Amino acid sequence: MNKIGITARDLFHLKSVTDPKLSPDGSMAVYVQTRIDEKTEKYISNLYMYSLITNETKQWTFGDNRDTSPAWSPDGKDIAFISDRSGKKQVHLIGSIGGEARQLTHFINGVTKPIWSPCSSKLLLSTGLKEGETLNTVKENDLSKEVHRYDRIKYKWDGRGYFDQLYQQLVVVDIFQNESVLLTENNIDHHPNAWSPDGQHVAFISGDAEKSDDELFSSDIFTMDLETKSLQKITDSTGFFKDPKWSPNGKYLSFIGHNKEFAGATFSNIWLHSISDQTIQCLTDGWDVEIGDSAIGDFQIGAVDPGILWTNDSQGFYFLISDYGNTGVYYGSIEGAMYPSILDPQHIYGLTIDPESHRAVVAISTPAHPGDLFAYNLTNGDKEQISFVNDEFLRNKHLSIAEPISFPVADGLTIHGWIMRPTEFNENLKYPLILEIHGGPHMMYANTYVHEFQTLANEGYTVLFTNPRGSLGYGQDFANACRGDYGGMDYQDLMAGVDHVLTTYDFINHEDLGVSGGSYGGFMTNWIIGHTNRFKAAVTQRCISNWLSFYGVSDIGYYFTEWEIGGDIINSADKLWQHSPLKYISNVNTPLLLLHGEKDFRCPIEQSEQFFVALKRQNKEAVLVSFPDETHEITRSGSPKMRLRHLEEIKGWFNKYF
């Protein structure tokens, strides 16, 4: 039987596995498996259980809902998880030996992920509350419309919408007494993260309620004494910090973050707060590696970066890093020594460890493999695949392999990327090339599965994707190098990549070039076609075209523009216009498809609308396609129907010209 390539509609046949969690004794792993129901076109997530003793997998929860965020009780008897089966996202409990799940919380605005207390009797979480609301407030159906009044600069969020007056407050739920205690009540968001080993304190992330417009520019680590509710602020509001966790012996509090030395391009570090002498030490100072998973993909639904995972001896911890288009696992000691545990050409998008044996379950994707779980021995590198969720479907599929490339650019930097040949490649034929550009820009393309790329390869396209300056994974200076120079050397990096593959590979038709990208990649697509006519067709996705208007309409516009472009509309409007693709609209001759979600608050649809109208006013070839109710996340977590249509639009546009 001849194998065929990946099609856009295969979204409805592929499954993703995410967020593995090992049981306290290391014998079982619970994880989330997500699929799309082809009839209802809805995401369905259930919990599955794998036994590392019998090697058997069993489905643990059932139903056509979203069950996510599993968490083992420390005694191993229960698993708490989030489910929307009652309409709102609420905590449910299910026994570790199976049985029926029972709903634990009934909060009017739902809850966030649950965190177990050391004694296995309580859960720390957060819930949204308006001023004056309590945990027992009953929501009334109010059909009247009210005006919305805002006095804070942050009044909307992509994915959340306009400010709903809800603030995330900390709650402790006693699972046996069925009682809930509200820990915080002020007008600021609180994000819970950990319990102290003695169960007397909790750690969380928050801002300063008295500096509401400044909270965007810092996030701090706090601890709370649960008996007195007194707070201790660990960090000093100079940067962004997250993931506070106690060492098992209670002597240290680790966390991840940075002091904004390079604004939004700053690499995160690992920090250690000593409880006894109240000192803070940066364990990764001078280590030019980004902490965490910075890979961009469009498939792993609900992937979770676990942050710091302590070992039982309190001498060290495991964590993810992003480096040269891969994500790996490192072990760090409390003395600051960092040792690689897993470094392979792949994307690790999930990690859980047995803190005693140093065994792990790891979620791994590659460009030709959507993702599965593997059991790892982190001390000797032994691994075994333990999930095979897409094997049957992929048995008759042929996926294109991503071949790594690197090439020099004018100022001496070396740029890294990949090229994917058409699925049915014939060395005697010539093929069109599509340049893909990632968003961020401070993220990175990686050795991971991207459904859009496989779909295009199956249509007969060669796909080129690179990590130009600004990308993470290649050092702090490299990540910072595009700030203040959007459309400058980053543009040259991308064009050098095109030149490199045209001179290196003889199967590419030099006249048949396409370009596409999303977010920052959409900005760069617009910029490219305003500065060269090399491309026969272009698709810009959730783009930026005008920094002057972006400054005021994006949910991050004001500070992102100042950080990344180096100007504002008050003092340096000329600089913003200089870097705006709209300024160069008269130069555009490339047929352009503009794709945009109508509820995208990160790069609002007016960015596409301005570019589209200016093109049409000049009788240029352009089509605007808007997606109702879709946010900036349309290609990653948008409604399945719209994700499919989005892919079909890209494919159809390029097929029209090649």
Q: Catalytic residue positions?
A: 519, 632
Instruction: Output the CA–CA distances (angstroms, integers) from residue 537 to 228, 326, 360, 600, in the order listed.
Output: 64, 30, 46, 24
Distance in angstroms (rounded) separating the CA atoms of residues 101 and 590: 56
Distance in angstroms (rounded) separating the CA atoms of residues 108 and 138: 7
Alpha helices in 530-596, H assignment, sequence order: 547-553, 557-564, 573-578
Q: Is 508 left (phi over 0), alpha (psi -120 to 50) or beta?
A: beta
Question: With the CA atoms of 320, 449, 56 and 83 taken in that order, what torsion angle do they form, in degrees rounded to the nearest 10?
Answer: 80
Distance in angstroms (rounded) separating the CA atoms of residues 255 and 272: 7
**Rg of the chain over CA atoms, in angstroms?**
25
Paired tokens of 228:
């007195």
Strands (E), 314-387: 316-323, 326-333, 338-342, 347-353, 359-366, 369-377, 383-385
Neighbour tally for 285: CB within 10 Å = 10
Distance in angstroms (rounded) separating the CA atoms of residues 340 and 446: 18
User: Do 390 and 370 form a contact (C-beta atoms < 8 A)?
Assistant: yes
Nearest of 535, 400, 507 to residue 455 by alpha carbon = 400
User: Do 378 and 341 form a contact (C-beta atoms < 8 A)?
Assistant: yes
Alpha helices in 333-485, H assignment, sequence order: 391-394, 451-458, 476-480
Identify any residues that bridge with 233 across adjacent strands, giving them in sequence order: 222
Distance in angstroms (rounded) separating the CA atoms of residues 188 and 255: 21
User: Do 470 and 490 form a contact (C-beta atoms < 8 A)?
Assistant: yes
Residue listed under structure tokens 């449910």:
92
C-alpha 30 chain-centroid distance: 21
Distance in angstroms (rounded) separating the CA atoms of residues 650 and 477: 34
Q: Which residues 6+ apart lie within 8 Å of 485 measured at CB?
A: none
Question: Peptide bond before 20: cis, by omega within 30 degrees of 0?
Answer: no
Please tell me the number of Cα atoms within 13 Å of 472 on its side-chain side. 25
Residue listed under structure tokens 């698709």:
539
